[in-house]
Amino acid sequence: MPLVLATTTPGEPEIFASLQGEGPSQGQPSTFIRLSRCNLACHWCDTAYTWRFTGDNRPHRDDAAFDRAANQVTFAEEDAAARISTLGQNRLVVTGGEPLLQAPALARMLAHLPDMHVEVETNGTVAPPPALDALIHQYNVSPKLAHSGNPTELALLPERLTAWAADRRAFFKFVVAQPADVEEVLALQERYAIPAERIFLMAEGTDSITLRTREKWLSDLCMQHRFRMSDRLHIHLYGDTRGT
pLDDT, tens digit, for every residue of 163-212? 999 999 999 999 999 999 999 999 999 999 999 999 999 999 999 999 99
Amino acid in position 225: H
DSSP string for residues in 166-195: H-TTEEEEEEESSTTHHHHHHHHHHHHT--
pLDDT of residue 149: 97
Per-residue DSSP letter, 53: B
Cβ-count burial 217-241 (b if 16+ within 10 Å, e if not): ebeebbeeeebbbbbbbbbeeeeee
Write out the CATH class of domain 3-174: alpha beta
The stretch 140-168 carries a mean pLDDT of 98
Rounded Cα distance between 143 and 160, Å, is 10
Report yes or no: 96 and 36 within 8 Å, Cβ to Cβ: yes
Type of residue numbered 162: T
Q: Under DSSP, is residue 73 helix (H, G, I), strand (E, B) or coil?
A: strand
Q: How far is CA 68 from CA 20, 48, 64, 87, 98, in A?
A: 27, 11, 12, 27, 16
Report how far apart, in Å, the C-alpha atoms of 74 and of each of 21, 24, 68 are. 26, 30, 11
- Burial classification of residue 127, based on how many CB atoms lie within 10 Å of its CB (0-12 exposed, 13-18 middle, 19 or more buried): middle
pLDDT over 90 at 1, yes or no: no
Task: Assess contact for 24 and 200: CB atoms under 8 A.
Answer: yes
Question: pLDDT grade, residue 154 (50/70/90)?
Answer: very high
What are the extents of the domains in the chain? 3-174
Helices (H), 96-180: 103-111, 130-133, 152-155, 158-166
Spatial contact of 187 and 178, defined as CB atoms under 8 Å apart: no
- What pTM was estimated for this model as a whole? 0.97
Kindly report the average pLDDT of the chain as a whole number. 97
pLDDT of res. 157: 98
